[in-house]
Amino acid sequence: MNNQQIRLNKFLAERLGVSRREADNLIVAGSVTVNAKPPILGAKIDKNDKVCYNKKIVPFQTEFSYLAFNKPAGYVCSRKAQGSAPTLYELLPQKYHHLKTVGRLDKDTSGLILLTNDGDFAFQMTHPKFHKTKIYEVELDKPLEPLHQQMISDYGVMLEDGPSQFTVVHDGNKYIVTLSEGRNRQIRRTFAALGYRVVKLHRTSFGKYELNGLAPGKCAIIKP
């Protein structure tokens, strides 16, 4: 950005992880100020301007970081422990504690989770319109009936929040699930609707990013 001007909605989108339209809505709602004054739609800013969102300063210049982490089962993705469940931040080096997770994995799910302080990157990785593919290894409490496998892959299973459809491929004693949605506990709920319990759920890839031998509890720097 240097000394160049940038549209305020673009700046907010990159820093907050929202769309430009959503950034405009924040401006209209009065949640944003520039130099202590409400800005107009289409306003531009530079590094000398003081931008605040909900009365908190949004830094103009930020060094972005991108991290891949292999989350072990039993850890939550929030910053605070939930009951007896520890947070993944306990496993991360202190210098990465300012990063936020890109989406989430539930406590019992292991595998690839991304972290960053780049809101625009997080938005593009998680918003449904970008259709980022995620691949999981799934172990069930009993073999999946061929009819159920076809049903999930070809037609989908109706859940309380709408139909759930993803590709399921049998691979030895596990199943490979490929999907582009990111609904809460979607894989577990889909199999449960057909009478199966997910014993193990492990994410191996997210978009173009893969674990690539990363050990559980370890992290690696990635490029956006």
Instruction: State the DSSP string of 16-70.
Output: HT--HHHHHHHHHTT-EEETTBPPPTT-EE-TTS-EEETTEE--SS----EEEEE
Answer whether 6-57 and 66-126+212-221 agree in fold.
Answer: no
Q: Which two tokens stand for residue 30?
A: 């009065």
HEC profile of 161-206: CEEECCEEEEECCEEEEEECCCCCCHHHHHHHHCCCCEEEEEEEEE
3-state helix, strand, coil in the chain (%, to 5): 25, 30, 45
The pLDDT value given to residue 79: 84
Cα–Cα nearest to 196, from 143, 135, 129: 143
The pLDDT value given to residue 1: 43
The pLDDT value given to residue 3: 62
The pLDDT value given to residue 81: 82
The pLDDT value given to residue 168: 97
The pLDDT value given to residue 11: 92
Q: What CATH class has 133-206?
A: alpha beta
Show me where the domains of the chain are located: 6-57, 66-126+212-221, 133-206
- CATH fold of the domain at 66-126+212-221: Alpha-Beta Plaits (3.30.70)
Is the CB of residue 151 less than 8 Å from the CB of residue 194? yes
Catalytic residues: 106
**Domain 6-57 in CATH: superfamily?**
RNA-binding S4 domain (3.10.290.10)
- Sheet (strand 56-57) strand order: 32-34, 51-53, 56-57
Per-residue pLDDT of the chain (224 residues; tens, 9 = 90+): 456 899 999 999 888 878 889 999 999 999 999 999 999 999 999 989 999 999 999 988 778 899 999 999 999 998 888 888 999 999 999 999 989 999 999 999 999 999 998 888 998 999 888 999 999 999 999 999 999 999 999 999 999 999 999 999 999 999 999 999 878 999 999 999 999 999 999 999 999 999 999 999 999 999 99
